[in-house]
Amino acid sequence: MAKSEDSLTLKDLNLGCVVTEPGNARQYKTGSWKSKRPVTDREKCNKCGLCYIYCPEGCIRVNNKGYFLSNYEYCKGCGICAHECPQEAITMIEEEEE
Partner 1 sequence: MAQKIGMEVSIALGEAAKLANTDVIAAYPITPQTHIVEHIADMVANGEMDAEFITVESEHSAMSACLGSAAVGARTFTATAGQGLELMHEVLYVASALRFPIVMTVANRALSGPLNIWGDHSDVMATRDCGWIQFFVENGQEAFDLTLCAFRIAEDPTVMLPTMLSLDGFHLTHVVEPITLIEKSDVDKFIPPLKHPFALRPDKPVTMGAFAPPFIYTETKKIADEALRSSKKVIVSVWDEFGKRFGRHYNPVETYRTEDAKTLLLTMGSYSETAMVAIDNMRTKGEKVGLIHLRLWRPFPFAELKQTTENADNLFVLDRCISLGGPGGPVCSEIKAAFYDSQKKPSIIGFIGGLGGRDMTPGDFEYMTKRGKEIIQHGTKNEVEMIGVKE
Partner 2 sequence: MEQKLQKQPKIFSKVPPEEYFVSGHRGCVGCGEALAVRLVCKALGPNVIIANATGCMEVVSSQLPNTAWGVPWIHTLFENTAAVASGIECGLKVLRKKGRYSNENTIVAAMAGDGGTADIGMQALSGALERGHRFVYICFDNEAYMNTGIQRSSTTPFGASTTTSPAGKKSIGQLTWKKDLPSIAIAHNIPYVATASPSYPFDLINKVKKATTMKGPSYLHVFSVCPTGWRSAPELAIELGRLAVKTGIFPLYEVENGVYKINHEPSKLDPVKDYLKLQGRFRHLSDDTIKEIEKRVNSNFIELKRKMMCDDMRVV
Out of partner 1, partner 2, none, which partner does residue 15 contact, by CB within 5 to 8 A per kind? partner 1
Residues 8-47 touching partner 1, rule: CB under 8 A, are 8-10, 13-20, 22
Length of the chain (residues): 98
Q: Which of 67, 79, 91, 95 binds partner 2 (CB under 8 A)?
A: 79
DSSP labels, 22-35: TTGGGGS-GGGG-S
Out of partner 2, partner 1, none, which partner does residue 90 contact, by CB within 5 to 8 A per kind? none
From residue 82, give the alpha-carbon distance in Å to each of 39, 53, 57, 68, 75. Answer: 9, 13, 14, 12, 12
Residues near partner 1 (CB under 8 A): 5-6, 8-10, 13-20, 22
